[in-house]
């Protein structure tokens, strides 16, 4: 099944502030390298037959490349983002406008939430992260607007500040995740919900290997996450490694650069 993604070219990408432990403004980042790597990710999606739409990047919003944070789109409805840090504040309205201009029903959120960074959608349920960015009250707001059950999960390790840095859906029913990124209670919830999950270790998590995008058959994943790639192959998935090392300097990987637009169903 081809997917529909929204991406944002990192034309204004820099690391000039630090809002997560991956970011070191004094070390900077190379924008040209970031653009090249991002083009590689976009090409990988297109080769798999997925549709990629683009939103115009905005000068002065260096993290806007991380489109996953811009909204949550389920059943054709768009739940807008409201960023935790002021540096990213204007991204929320910019993404919401993109959808509103195209006729999508949108909700401007009352509560802090960072879109698909903290909301991951499966067939029957939406998994939602809290602890660092997204306010748990936003989980309820999203559930009410989308009419889907939302399950709250608590993140405890600041390196894995968004749910999508610690977990990704393999398909509509199963996930891969790094257990230690979650509170004990949330680990138990994940064990109960996904007895057959792929469990990742620290080495793969530390290269943002869990920040991957699966279409149920192909998994686009950071090239450095080698053990996790082997396990995915063992389970029958096609693995498409990508190099996004420059964007990792801002704390992002393939999934962070990718907002999925889910149509009505
Ligand atoms: N520098 C960005 C931030 O800290 C990175 C966002 C990564 N996006 C994601 N979906 N995890 O907000």
pLDDT in tens, the chain (265 residues): 899 999 999 999 999 999 999 999 999 999 999 999 999 999 999 999 999 999 999 999 999 999 999 999 999 999 999 999 999 999 999 999 999 999 999 999 999 999 999 999 999 999 999 999 999 999 999 999 999 999 999 999 999 999 999 999 999 999 999 999 999 999 999 999 999 999 999 999 999 999 999 999 999 999 999 999 999 999 999 999 999 999 999 999 999 999 999 998 6
- Identified catalytic residue from 8, 50, 139, 256: 256
Residue ID of nearest Cα to ligand 1 atom 9:
256
Residue 189 structure tokens: 């919830």
The residue among 261, 258, 262, 245 whose CA lies nearest residue 15 is 245
- Structure-derived torsion over alpha carbons of residues 2, 41, 181, 217, reported in degrees to the nearest 10: 30
Instruction: Compute, in angstroms, the gap from residue 154 CA to the centroid of ligand 1.
Output: 17
Which residues, 6 or more positions from 155, have their beta carbon under 8 angstroms from its beta carbon?
129, 130, 131, 132, 161, 162, 163, 166, 181, 182, 183, 186
Q: How far apart are CA 154 and CA 191, in angstroms?
A: 14
Name the one residue in this structure whose structure tokens are 């990742």.
Answer: 200
Active site annotation includes 8: no
Active site annotation includes 139: no
Strand order in the sheet with 126-130: 119-121, 126-130, 150-154
Which residues, 6 or more positions from 108, have their beta carbon under 8 angstroms from its beta carbon?
80, 96
Tell me, what's the ipTM? Answer: 0.97
**Helix/strand/coil for 23:** coil
Strand partners, 4: 51
């Amino acid at each position: 099944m081809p997917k529909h993604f929204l991406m944002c070219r990192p034309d204004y990408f820099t690391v000039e502030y630090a809002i997560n432990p991956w970011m070191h403004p004094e070390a900077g980042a190379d924008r040209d390298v970031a653009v090249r790597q991002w083009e590689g990710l976009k090409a990988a999606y297109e080769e798999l037959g997925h549709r990629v739409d683009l939103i115009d990047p905005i000068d002065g919003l260096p993290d806007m490349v991380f489109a996953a944070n811009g909204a949550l789109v389920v059943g054709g409805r768009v739940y807008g983002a409201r960023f935790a840090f002021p540096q990213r504040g204007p991204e929320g309205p910019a993404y919401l406008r993109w959808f509103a201009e195209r006729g999508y029903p949108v909700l401007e959120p009352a509560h802090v939430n960072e879109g698909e960074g903290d909301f991951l959608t499966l067939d029957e349920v939406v998994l939602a992260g809290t602890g660092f960015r997204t306010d748990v009250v936003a989980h309820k707001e999203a559930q009410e607007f989308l009419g889907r059950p939302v399950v709250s999960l608590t993140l405890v390790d600041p390196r894995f500040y968004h749910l999508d840095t610690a977990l990704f859906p393999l398909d509509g029913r199963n996930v891969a995740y790094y257990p230690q990124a979650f509170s004990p209670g949330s680990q138990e919830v994940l064990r109960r919900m996904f007895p057959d999950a792929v469990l990742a270790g620290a080495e793969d998590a530390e290269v943002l290997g869990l920040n991957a995008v699966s279409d149920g058959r192909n998994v686009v994943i950071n090239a450095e996450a080698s053990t996790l790639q082997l396990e995915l192959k063992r389970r029958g998935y096609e693995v498409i490694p990508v190099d996004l090392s420059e964007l990792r300097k801002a704390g992002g990987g393939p999934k962070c650069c990718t907002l999925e637009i889910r149509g009505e169903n």
